[in-house]
Amino acid sequence: MNSNEWVNIVEVGPRDGLQNEKQSISFEDKIELIQRLDSAGLTYIESGSFVSPKWVSQMASTKEIFNYLKEHEASNKTFAALVPNLKGLESALTTKVKEIAVFIAASESFSKKNINKSIDEAVATTREVIEEARKHNIKVRGYLSCVLGCPYEGQVDTKTVVQLTKKLIDLGAYEVSLGDTIGVGTPFKARELLRALKEEVPVSKLAGHFHDTYGQALANVWVSLEEGIRTFDSSVAGLGGCPYAKGASGNLSTEDLVYMLHNSGYDTGIDLHKVIEAGNFINTVLGRETNSKVAKALA
Ligand code: HMG
Ligand code: MG
């Protein structure tokens, strides 16, 4: 193994983490969470979604959050938002967001439940969003959900995952984050999928987004590292889930990911103790215990 190789961490707590919370979280608390993560050395923080507030009410303050962040954003930091369609992009553009993430799924049923569109319709909308975003020099990251299983259909065809990953890249996404939306993947299955993907797509364009529902996320990260992936999404305190994926628990916690990487010859530039403090802050706001084993162990 190469010593001190760099791994990029995409912090998704303020978006994937909070989108699933029923209780109202104030604008001030969301900003404080983002700022604490920023101070902990996270350079990429997904901070909201320009989705319909009727579908995900917790993300309704995204415009205000990005208006605030634009005044405080350092040039080496990325604060990104999910955008499902042109209406969402229109809102995003009013905030001068510099990067967005589009999202589609490898399962018809999940796509319909999550965004009310078939996969083909979602691809067509994504094409429009990426074309328009590029006119405004906005970078676009892509998500593909249900790559290792679907909450409605169970098994998902590897060929469909490969084809849609390629599609996102062809449409202009610079990277595709592979979402194990309900955390059912195992290292064996993750490796098989990555090997199939690597035949068609450069590994540098792939990222891992492992929910930890079945406790497999760190193991899936490890095989992804072995297969050459160097970007992973994680969520402070292991917050998260998708409101349209019943049973999906939190993402892999940033604390557990950073601990494993720093003690396995990888660097991330992140201060573990400060991430734990950010986690303590949001857990106090939410009135709950952390999902991070490392945060518990070091408490
Ligand atoms: P729809 O109801 O089909 O939309 O929702 P529509 O186009 O028919 O419009 C209906 C109304 O919504 C209209 O308003 C539109 O203007 C409005 P009305 O005329 O009735 O007043 N509308 C919007 N409002 C605000 N922002 C918008 C927007 N678009 C339309 N962007 C839509 C379609 C996609 C909007 C909806 O299904 C939606 O917002 N879905 C979001 C679901 C979501 O956020 N899921 C979680 C994120 S994905 C995830 O977590 C997975 C991931 O983490 C990876 C993984 O783990 O796998 C990324
Ligand atoms: Mg997710």
Six token digits for residue 268: 């991330």
Residues 246-287: tens digit of each pLDDT:
766 789 999 999 999 999 999 999 999 999 999 999 999 999
How high is the pLDDT of residue 64?
Answer: 96
Q: Is residue 115 lining ligand 1, measured as CB closer than 6 Å?
A: yes
Helices 86-93 & 119-135, crossing angle to 10 degrees?
30
The atom of ligand 1 lying closest to the CA of 177 is 54
Is residue 2 predicted with pLDDT exceeding 70? no
Taking the C-alpha atoms of residue 204 and residue 176, their distance in angstroms, rounded to an integer, is 10
DSSP 8-class letter at 18: G
Model confidence band, residue 171 (pLDDT cutoffs 50, 70, 90): very high
* Ligand that comes closest to the CA of residue 112: 1
What does the alpha-carbon distance between residue 234 and residue 285 come to, in Å, rounded to a whole number?
A: 20
User: 96 pLDDT band (50/70/90 cuts)?
Assistant: confident
Nearby residues of 60 by Cβ (< 8 Å), 6 or more positions away: 53
On the CB side of 148, CA atoms within 13 Å amount to 29
| Range 57-63 average pLDDT | 95
- Report the alpha-carbon distance of residue 176 to residue 209 in Å, rounded: 10
- For 98-156, the pLDDT digits (tens) are 999 999 999 999 999 999 999 999 999 999 999 999 999 999 999 999 999 999 999 99
Mean pLDDT of 71-94: 91
Cα(242) to centroid(ligand 1), Å: 13
Question: What are 176-224's pLDDT values in tens digits?
Answer: 999 999 999 999 999 999 999 999 999 999 999 999 999 999 999 999 9
State the ligand closest to the CA atom of 180: 1
Give the whole-angstrom CA distance, residue 133 versus residue 98: 9
19 lines ligand 1 (CB under 6 A): yes
Residue nearest atom 11 of ligand 1, based on CA coordinates: 52
Q: Are 100 and 51 in contact (CB under 8 A)?
A: no
Q: Is 285 in the pocket of ligand 1 (CB under 6 A)?
A: no
Percent share of the chain, pLDDT over 90: 90
Determine the Cα–Cα distance for residues 291 and 144; give it in Å rounded to an integer.
24
Nearest ligand, measured from the Cα of 141 = 1
Pocket of ligand 1 contains residue 44 by CB under 6 Å: no
In angstroms, the CA 21 to CA 282 distance is 12
127 Cβ neighbours under 8 A, 6+ residues apart: 171
Q: Is 84 in the pocket of ligand 1 (CB under 6 A)?
A: yes
- Ligand 1 probe mutation, 16, 18, 49, 51, most atoms within 8 A of CB: 51
**pLDDT grade for 72, boundaries at 50, 70 and 90:** confident
Please tell me the pTM assigned to this model: 0.97
Both tokens assigned to 218: 């760190």
Question: For a substitution probing ligand 1, which of 15, 50, 52, 59 has the most ligand atoms within 8 Å of its CB?
Answer: 52
| d(C-alpha 103, C-alpha 215), whole Å | 24
Phi-psi region of 260 (alpha: psi -120 to 50; beta: other; left: phi over 0): alpha
Out of 242, 257, 278, 294, which one is annotated catalytic?
A: 242
The closest-lying atom of ligand 1 relative to the alpha carbon of residue 147 is 57
Say how far apart CA 34 and CA 190 lie, in whole Å. Answer: 30
How distant, in Å, are the alpha carbons of 148, 184, 194, 208 from that of 220? Answer: 11, 10, 11, 8
Give yes or no for residue 92 CB within 6 A of ligand 1. no
CB of residue 88 inside a 6 A radius of ligand 1: yes
- In this structure, the residue with its CA closest to atom 35 of ligand 1 is 52
Which pLDDT belongs to residue 45?
97
Q: Is 242 a catalytic residue?
A: yes
Structure-token pair, residue 185? 């993947």
